[in-house]
Amino acid sequence: MIQEIVAGFSMGCIYALAGFGFVLVYNAVGAVNFAHGELVMFGGYFGYAFSTHLGIPLWLAFATSLLAMAILGILFNQVAYLPIRNRPVSTVIIASIGMSILLRNSALAIWGPDPLKLNSFLGDGAINIGGIVFLRHQLLIFAVTAFVFTGQSLFFSRTAIGRKLQATAQDQEAAKLMGIKVTRMINLTFILAALLATIAGFLVAPLWFLDPEVGLAIIVKAFIAIVIGGFGSIPGLVVGGIFLGLTEVLVASHLTSEYKDVISFFILITVLMVMPQGFFGEKIAEKV
Amino acid sequence: MGFEKKNIIIAVIICGAAMILPIFFRDSRYYMNILNFSGIFIILTYSLNLIHGYLGLISIGHAGFFAIGAYITAGLTMGTTLNFFPSLLIASTAAALAGILLGFPATRIGGHYFVLITLAFGEIVRLIILNWKEVTNGTNGLNNIPPPSLGSWIFASRFSYYYLVLFFILVTMLLTLSLRRSKYGRSMLSLKASELAATVMGVNPLTTKLINFGMAGLFAGLAGGLYASYIGSISPEAFSVDLSIEVLVMTLVGGSGTLLGPIIGTTFLVVLKEWLRFLREYYMILYGAGIVFVMIFMPYGIMGLVKRVSSQLKS
Amino acid sequence: MNNFFKNLSHFALVLCLFFIFATTGLAEVKVGVISSQTSSLAILGQRQINAAILAAEEWNEKGGINGTKIRLIIEDSADKTTTAVTALDRVLGKNVCAILGPIYSFQLFAMFPEVKKEKIPMLSTSGTRKLTQMDNRWYFRTYPHDGITKRAYTLYAVEELKSKKPALMSVTTEYGKSGHEIITNILKAKGIAPVAETWHEKADKDMTGQLMRVKRSDPDIIISQAHPSDTAIILKQQRDLGINVPHMASSAASMPSVHKLVGEAMEGVYVETVTLPNFDPDPNIRAWTKKYIEKFKKKPDSFALLYYDTANFLFEAIKSVGPDRTKIRDWLETTRYKGLAGQYKFDQEHNGAFFAIIVQYHIKDGKAVPELKKKYDFTPN
């Protein structure tokens, strides 16, 4: 049971990290970026390309990947968001679906269909504590998740740039009036999302391996975690992710796993019916 | 009055063109196939068009309705003495009921939460089909599904199937049109504009939404039944989230909430995908780029652009 | 005057010869190749397309079939039934005389009605048993079907490894489900019931739940069937969780790309497969593998090797009876062919290959090296 809980927590943290960039962008500009899963995947792919093909040490590959992803984030913003930022929500979503297809198939063309391995910073080993196996990589995931999520609340409330981003997210018009350069903030948000995607990619890839379809799997799980947690809420994201991770693992372990995904979905639907705004979401306006 | 007459003439011309179109492609099984697949997906797109266009909701679970229509039609035509048409009716009704079922949560929650429910719905349907081997034959799928027949006439050729599909497209269009002009149609649009105001004016959100969902389910189930009897072989792989996402893209590329949008959007994307095959491995990259492109230059879909251009021409 | 006519007739003769030469040059033997260039199925699909290209090029270097070059009409079937069917349309539209088809049964089932109607031979390296039970005389299977491969590894587990308490881990696709059925039937016939049975989706990334369930049931062997990614995850996580039970994996575990992902956890793993092109001592297979890697910069797998044999088998047929669909079918039905991987001979149902091998992997110098444990050959005489 405990082993499953460890796995569930670790999966949950991955979902939360993967979804973080997505939530940031959504909070800032109201845009749902369906291609965020592919961004996480590209973070991992860049890591693979730099560390395996260039043979550079992993931390350097990480740094270069961050740079590459920042550029990708800017390109993404310029090509697929800025031109349509004032359009209806659905348009932006469809454009992001188009980007998702484009990125997924680009990955296929560049790296081929075979699953690839990105090494973990802490290597492949495991630690045994009282009969429970903890992968060193899982410990890394827990640490990074804790760091990122406590860090982000400090970042947004204590730093100048963080507060500006926060202000832009809450009310673009008011922010503009206060002299904040909104377009620059939007660019920055996309870059930040891309950087977070890189971190998520480096953490996901050693466990999930890299193949062109991984992006889709990531975004679906992250989306579920986000909704369960309360759309737009960052603490909700972590709680939602962990809830999803635990549900999946415990169901697979203790119930007939042929229908495990059906059961997991039913659990999620029930949660939503009982708490339509998710765990931490804002209450939706009462329907009359 | 002149407005009406002009529209009717255009409609007649388009109908006429649609009727004689296949004659040019009769000899090419490939083009006939593209026409027929487009036609079936057009009906599926009309379904999502209702939900998104009139209620402003996004669904990524339409493969579920499609699957219900397909499997029930196939199951009945293969397992009982029922003919295609009654089977299709039963299957579409089942899908309509599923739609109404899905409509209930839609009245309590909206937006992203609803998207998740639709995802869950589509996946649950797919997973049940995949695992319930006794009934659905699981992954081996249902094969040798008989083609539709009317009396002694069998719709065995792609050419004849085209007309069957065209008939149902017309039925779908007429139903959509009459819904839009009806009291319920107006209710739906007013709900989309402002739920609070509409309700104050006496619109019952629950009934209106349920009617919308029921009809959407009906159309999707109809498309599913046509699909099963056309392709002759169905299995769970066809009814994945991928399909639901494609339908969403088709709806929005064509222009959501419009009468002709589904036809244009679906045909455009089906043809685009096939046309790009000459690029070998890279064609899907351009397909994705094509979608982004359309959204940038035609954010309200192709029909949106058409409307804008024609209104600019008028003024 | 005489000179003029003489010159004219010479000129006409040369012109005629030129046309005859030109049109024979233009004539080609067209063969369709339908497989997955894109989508998640491209892992196997792309390698097969490459194998067919290699075979055709080899023939063309020697002048083609009876002097006529082979032209492959390659179309992508991706991962849907609709794309497979439209790919078939495109290939048929180019008037091919035969088709090398995709692996996946759900695509093949959808293509069968048209294949029967068009009366065109289609060959593929698919394992799903049902494919040859559909009363389709135009389909030929050049791969041992599930009944054979699964029989081999279940028998090995029970007879050689003396298992009495097997745990089964299966994927929910056609491959996993039909295999699962066959395995449980064979076990039942031997009076053995699995102590645990788990399922997972092909795209699942965490098998902790399933593995813990298996661990609790205290099995003496784990028999798994899965696709490349999920196989890698199962093997790696089993090792990570410290579950020290022998593991008998399905053929995806013989793929070099899977070994790279699994690493040390491949030690001791048993795998059922059909051939091992990267390790077979047969000099012809070694030469082939080397050529494949040089040309495509990727290691081949057994599906690629058998597709290569299939292509050659087909080209031999065309060489003997010409590009005539019915004659090709008849020739295939009655001819034995010796390919690189083994012998092919079609039975009544059109199953053409009946061999399988069990290997065990050991890690040597950081690489997973197979050791042949047993060869099974169920070829009917």
Chain C residues within an 8 Å CB radius of A217: 203, 205
Q: Which residues in chain B are contacts of C86 at CB distance < 8 A? A: 30, 33-34, 37, 274
Tell me the pLDDT tens digit for each residue of C354-378: 989 999 999 999 889 999 888 888 8
CA distance C83 to chain B (A): 9
In terms of DSSP H, where are the helices of B50-110?
A: 55, 62-79, 84-108
Would you say residue A38 lies in a domain? Answer: yes
* C22 pLDDT tier (thresholds 50, 70, 90): very low
Q: What is the mean pLDDT of residues C68-84?
A: 92
Q: Which residues of B touch A224 (CB under 8 A)?
A: 116, 119
User: Average pLDDT of A138-156?
Assistant: 88
* Nearest-neighbour CA in chain B from A249: distance (Å): 18
Q: Which domain holds residue A11?
A: 2-212
pLDDT of residue C220 exceeding 90, the answer is yes
Shortest distance between the Cα of C41 and any Cα of chain B, in A, equals 12
Say whether B140 and C174 touch across the interface (CB within 8 A): yes
Task: Closest CB to A98: pick one of B108, B199, B289.
Answer: B289
ipTM metric: 0.84
Of C39, C228, C241, the CB nearest to A3: C241
Q: What is the CATH number of domain C147-273+357-377?
A: 3.40.50.2300
What is the spatial distance between Cα C321 and Cα C324, in angstroms, rounded to a whole number? 7
Taking alpha carbons only, the member of B185, B176, B208 closest to residue B100 is B208
Averaged pLDDT of chain C: 89
Contact check, Cβ <8 Å, B140/C85: no
Q: Of B217, B60, B123, B283, which Cα lies nearest the Cα of A106?
A: B283
Q: Please enumerate in sequence order all residues whose Cβ is within 8 A of that of B23, keeping only pairs 6 or more positions apart, or say none.
A: none
Among B294, B249, B291, smallest CA distance to A99 is for B291
Residue B281: closest CA among chain A residues belongs to which residue? Answer: A109
Instruction: Please indicate whether, in this complex, the C-beta atoms of A252 and C46 are within 8 angstroms of each other.
Output: no
Homologous superfamily (CATH) for C25-144+282-350? Response regulator (3.40.50.2300)
Average pLDDT estimate for A6-25: 92
Backbone angles phi, psi at C345, to 5 degrees: -150, 125
Kindly state the average pLDDT of the residues A221-248.
Answer: 89
A6 to chain C, closest Cα gap in Å? 9
What local confidence, expressed as pLDDT, does residue C13 receive?
Answer: 63
Indicate the length of chain C as a whole number.
381
Strands (E), C43-86: 69-76
Q: Where in chain C is the domain with CATH 3.40.50.2300?
A: 25-144+282-350, 147-273+357-377
Domain count for chain A, please give it: 1
Task: Give the gap in angstroms from C-alpha C207 to the nearest C-alpha of chain A.
Answer: 8
Residue A261 lies in a domain: no
Which residue from A minimizes the CA distance to B108?
A287
CB atoms within 10 A of CB B54: 25
Question: pLDDT 10s digit of each residue in chain B, 315 long?
Answer: 344 676 777 777 878 888 888 787 777 888 888 899 999 999 999 999 998 888 888 888 999 999 999 999 999 998 888 889 999 999 999 999 999 988 887 766 667 778 888 888 999 999 888 888 777 777 778 888 888 888 788 888 888 899 999 999 999 998 988 888 887 777 777 777 776 777 777 777 788 888 889 999 999 999 999 999 999 889 888 898 889 989 999 998 888 888 888 998 999 999 888 888 888 768 888 889 988 998 888 888 888 888 888 888 876
Q: Is residue A125 in a domain? A: yes
Q: Name the band, by pLDDT with cuts 50, 70 and 90, for residue C4.
A: low
B30-314 CATH, one of 3.30.1330, 1.10.3470, 1.10.287, 1.10.1200: 1.10.3470
Nearest to C109 among B138, B141, B274 (CB): B141
| Contact A103/B at CB under 8 A | yes
More confident residue, C131 or A169: C131
C-alpha dihedral sign at A127, A128, A133, A138 = negative
Residue spans of the domains in chain B: they are 30-314
Q: Which of B54, B102, B104 is nearest to B217 (CA)?
A: B102
In a domain, A270, yes or no: no
Whole-prediction pTM value? 0.84
Residue, of A89 and C339, whose pLDDT is higher: C339
State whether residue C248 is helix, strand or coil. strand
**Beta-carbon separation of C298 and A112 below 8 A:** yes
Does A251 lie at the interface with C, CB-CB under 8 angstroms?
yes
Question: Can you give the pLDDT at residue B27?
Answer: 74
**Contact between chains at C90 and B284 (C-beta distance less than 8 A):** no
Residue A153 forms part of a structural domain: yes
Query: Is the residue at A37 inside a domain?
Result: yes
- DSSP for B95-132, written as a single string: HHHHHHHHHHHHHH--HHHHHHHHHHHHHHHHHHHHH-
SS (H, E, C) C39-71: CCCHHHHHHHHHHHHHHHHHHHHCCCECCEEEE
Contact C203 A115 (CB under 8 A): no
> Residue A257 and residue C240: Cβ atoms within 8 Å?
no
The answer to whether the beta carbons of residues A266 and A20 sit under 8 Å apart is no
